[in-house]
Amino acid sequence: MKKETVFCGSGVAVITPFIEDRVDYNALGRIIDFQIANKTDAIVICGTTGESSTLSDDEHRGSIAFAVERVAGRIPVIAGTGSNDTKYAIELSCHACDVGADALLLVTPYYNKSTQKGLVKNFLTIADAVTKPIILYNVPSRTGCAFNTATYKELAKHERIVGVKEAGGNISAIAELFAECGNDLDIYSGNDDQIVPILSLGGKGVISVLSNIIPAQIHDICELWFSGKTKESADLQLRLLRLINTLFVEVNPIPIKAAMHLLGWCSDEIRLPLCPIEDKNRDLLIGVMKEEGLL
């Protein structure tokens, strides 16, 4: 069964800027335009980096609708609509489809977790209810709930389940995923330090945190690889490794939001239970950004 590829290259897991405890749509619009101008291949709105877990329902729906309108068809918009409540995930996913999102990003159920049988039922139920392609999102360090390969194989049979954002970090497990499902699912790196390793296995690209501040370079890692310049791609990945690691010195999205603030894109406002970056880590971030010529 030939499935639609949502995008190839670099998708940005875009932050949600706040001002006085509300979504700063002016800043979000500028960020989206900057991303598109600098070769980002897809906008991922309301993912983990977008603080989806602390957005109200109105903010979540509004941010998706705003992104679709602002992008205006220039590149795909992928809406984060996953939940640990299948019914709510369907409602949010149907809304994203209705307002024109090009695809959905669905995380594994968090906190209540799930058996593998429950994962299959959850995602098939959502897939049957929506009209747009689905990218599954595996990030067990945050959810406590991971896909196994057999579950991926079962879900890959559904025509609307087309891809995986893999942020599990275990490259051996990811290699097994490629071996078993690589012909049926497009696989994207969910970790900025594993873009080239996943591309080397046949990956379609990355959904990136780092792209918030240097979108052109993340696009170039992928484009160089796809054009056969594999050493140049790997060299760029490795050159950015210190910056990548610094952006995870505290839990995402605390450091990337601090970096965006330092660059003048938005306030550093972040919602509890997350809080602004520690002073020592802000100093580290400033130093690394200066080394990269960003400040």
Element (H, E) at 45: strand 42-45
Active-site option among 39, 132, 137, 257: 137
Active-site option among 39, 132, 152, 165: 165
Q: Which two tokens stand for residue 104?
A: 């959905």
Phi, psi of 50 (to 5 degrees): -85, 10
Question: Using an 8 Å Cβ cutoff, are 67 and 96 in contact?
Answer: no
Q: Which two tokens stand for residue 75?
A: 């590149």
**Which of 220, 205, 146 has its CA nearest to residue 176?**
146
Q: Active site includes 229?
A: no
**Which of 87, 119, 126 has its CA nearest to residue 103?**
126
Which residue carries 């097994």 as its tokens?
A: 176
Q: Active site includes 137?
A: yes
Measured in whole angstroms, the distance separating CA 169 from the mean position of its chain's CA atoms is: 14
Active site amino acids: 137, 165
